[in-house]
């Protein structure tokens, strides 16, 4: 039995990385997919990959930080498939590190693409979900939204997603709509391409911080989204699930430093 039978799933930022992996997995699990991305060719490419894999999908061009684009994106989904049952708010970017590193425009860009987009996209699909008394929304936050690991504006926006998740879950649960969040650690996707140019071994450098001994793959996040959007999670709403190889459990380095080699 597939996990998402007869569901129409709209995935933002689906032209790359986690979004593309989620689109492919959701389609394999029975969903009809609307793959949206700022770059239309990438959205179309994801839709083509889904179709080649035996699934049903369309690609849609949309900048999720622009209200008119979001309205057109949801209209395209509803026009093609009649409704949206599942929304994955995945599109994202990160600009700057400490608050002295970036200007006001960069702050706004982080907040608009990461956080305002969740408001815009959720607001656009919720009326239909509430009418049908069925819907699932999964927001892709980050471990940066849970504890301080840099990228201040991005982190603030990702923390905001966690709060918005809990509020939406509380507001709309009684009407059959569940809203959950995943908080990935380091995932091997193109979002790391600039960092990889500076340090081709960055994933090996980072993996020592992960109790499970590796960085994540896009499919690790897609699997968590699939569970949270499926009926297997029918009594789960408002949670933020770290998908982080144990990173946010902490680490023993302070203890090791205190106790020396005996630790």
Active-site residue set: 154
User: Pick from 11, 16, 44, 60: which binds ligand NAP (CB under 6 A)?
Assistant: 16
187 interacts with ligand NAP by CB under 6 A: yes
User: Pick from 4, 113, 181, 241: which binds ligand NAP (CB under 6 A)?
Assistant: 113
180 interacts with ligand NAP by CB under 6 A: no
63 interacts with ligand NAP by CB under 6 A: yes
111 interacts with ligand NAP by CB under 6 A: no
User: Pick from 3, 70, 91, 126: which binds ligand NAP (CB under 6 A)?
Assistant: 91
Q: Tokens 């029975």: give the residue.
A: 30
Binding segment toward ligand NAP, per CB under 6 A, in 10-18, 79-87, 166-174, 227-235: 10-18
β-strand partners of 136: 86, 178
- Structure token pair of residue 88: 């994955």
What is the pairing mode between strands 86-89 and 56-61?
Answer: unpaired
CA distances (Å), origin 175, targets 7, 23, 77, 168, 182: 18, 26, 22, 11, 22
Supply angle C-alpha 77, 169, 118, rounded to 5.
45
CA distances (Å), origin 107, targets 146, 157, 163: 19, 10, 19
Smaller CB separation from ligand NAP, 2 or 190: 190
Smaller CB separation from ligand NAP, 105 or 234: 105
Q: Tokens 């006001």: give the residue.
A: 104
Binding residues for ligand NAP, rule CB under 6 A, total: 27
In degrees and rounded to multiples of 5, residue 194 shows phi and psi of -65, -45
110 interacts with ligand NAP by CB under 6 A: no
User: Pick from 55, 128, 135, 184: which binds ligand NAP (CB under 6 A)?
Assistant: 184
Query: C-beta of 262: minimal distance to ligand NAP in Å?
Result: 35
247 interacts with ligand NAP by CB under 6 A: no
Q: What is the DSSP string of 95-154?
A: --SSTTSS-HHHHHHHIIIIIIHHHHHHHHHHHHHHHHT-EEEEEE--GGGTS--S-HHH
Give the interface with ligand NAP as residue ranges (CB under 6 A): 12-13, 15-19, 37-39, 42, 63-65, 90-93, 113, 140, 142, 184, 186-187, 189-191
């Amino acid at each position: 039995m597939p996990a998402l039978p007869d569901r129409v799933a709209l995935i933002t930022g689906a032209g790359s990385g986690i979004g593309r992996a989620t689109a492919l997995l959701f389609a394999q699990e029975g969903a009809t997919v609307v793959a949206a991305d700022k770059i239309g060719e990438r959205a179309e490419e994801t839709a083509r990959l889904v179709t080649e894999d035996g699934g049903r999908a369309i690609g849609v061009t949309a900048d999720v930080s622009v209200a008119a684009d979001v309205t057109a994106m949801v209209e395209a989904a509803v026009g093609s498939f009649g409704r949206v049952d599942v929304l994955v708010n995945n599109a994202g970017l990160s600009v700057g590190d400490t608050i002295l590193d970036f200007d006001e425009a960069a702050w706004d860009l982080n907040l608009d693409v990461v956080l305002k987009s969740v408001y815009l996209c959720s607001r656009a699909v919720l009326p239909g979900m509430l009418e049908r008394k069925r819907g699932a929304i999964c927001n892709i936050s980050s471990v940066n939204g849970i504890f301080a690991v840099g990228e201040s504006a991005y982190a603030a926006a990702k923390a905001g997603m966690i709060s918005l998740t809990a509020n939406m879950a509380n507001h709309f649960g009684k009407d059959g709509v569940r809203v959950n969040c995943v908080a990935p650690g380091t995932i091997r996707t193109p979002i790391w391409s600039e960092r990889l140019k500076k340090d081709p071994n960055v994933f090996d450098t980072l993996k020592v911080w992960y109790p499970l001994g590796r960085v994540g793959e896009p499919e690790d996040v897609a699997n968590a989204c699939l569970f949270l959007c499926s009926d297997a999670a029918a009594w789960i709403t408002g949670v933020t699930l770290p998908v982080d190889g144990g990173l946010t459990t902490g680490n023993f380095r302070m203890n090791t430093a205190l106790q020396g080699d005996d630790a």
